[in-house]
Amino acid sequence: MAIDKRISTKLSRFTEVFNKAREDQANESDTVMFLIKFFEEVLGYDPLGGEITKEVAIKDRRCDFSVVVNTKVQFLVEAKSAGIKVLNAKHIEQAENYASRLPINWVLLTNGLSWYPCQQRPSP
């Protein structure tokens, strides 16, 4: 299945953006800004229409942003600095913790170059 040329062009552009962010050791805040732009331009979510909300309160913590469709949070996005080359177990545990505290089924953990979907863990 071929990818639409417009989407392919956008993906190439953001690959360059995130690679440069890694080279420049972009901080987490800048990485979040790039990710929100990615979700808007490539995936079609409208931040001005309320489909992306920042700093989602989860008990005593805050997740970077959420994707909302029809007024319901579909998933959370926990961003790490693009300068972080490896998303480690501590990062994954943090994302899974957000899923279990909200509760929500999915949290996407990413630094823009690595993408790791985390699912809520079932209760024992």
* Higher local confidence (pLDDT), 1 or 92: 92
* Higher local confidence (pLDDT), 121 or 107: 107
How high does pLDDT run on average in the chain? 89
Among candidates 119, 118, 114, which has minimal Cα distance to 35?
114
Q: What is the pLDDT of residue 2?
A: 73
Give the span between the Cα atoms of 16 and 38, in whole angstroms: 12
Q: What is the pLDDT of residue 122?
A: 55
Q: What is the pLDDT of residue 80?
A: 95
Q: C-alpha 16: how far from its chain's center?
A: 17
CA distances from residue 42 to 58, 85, 121 in whole angstroms, order as listed: 27, 23, 29
**Domains of the chain (ranges plus CATH)?**
5-119 (3.90.1570)
Rounded mean pLDDT, 75-88: 93
Asked if pLDDT for residue 75 goes beyond 60, the answer is yes
Q: Determine how many CB atoms are found less than 10 A away from the CB of residue 20.
A: 12
Confidence tier at 102 by pLDDT (50, 70, 90): confident
Rounded mean pLDDT, 33-54: 94
Asked if pLDDT for residue 6 goes beyond 70, the answer is yes
Rounded mean pLDDT, 91-105: 82
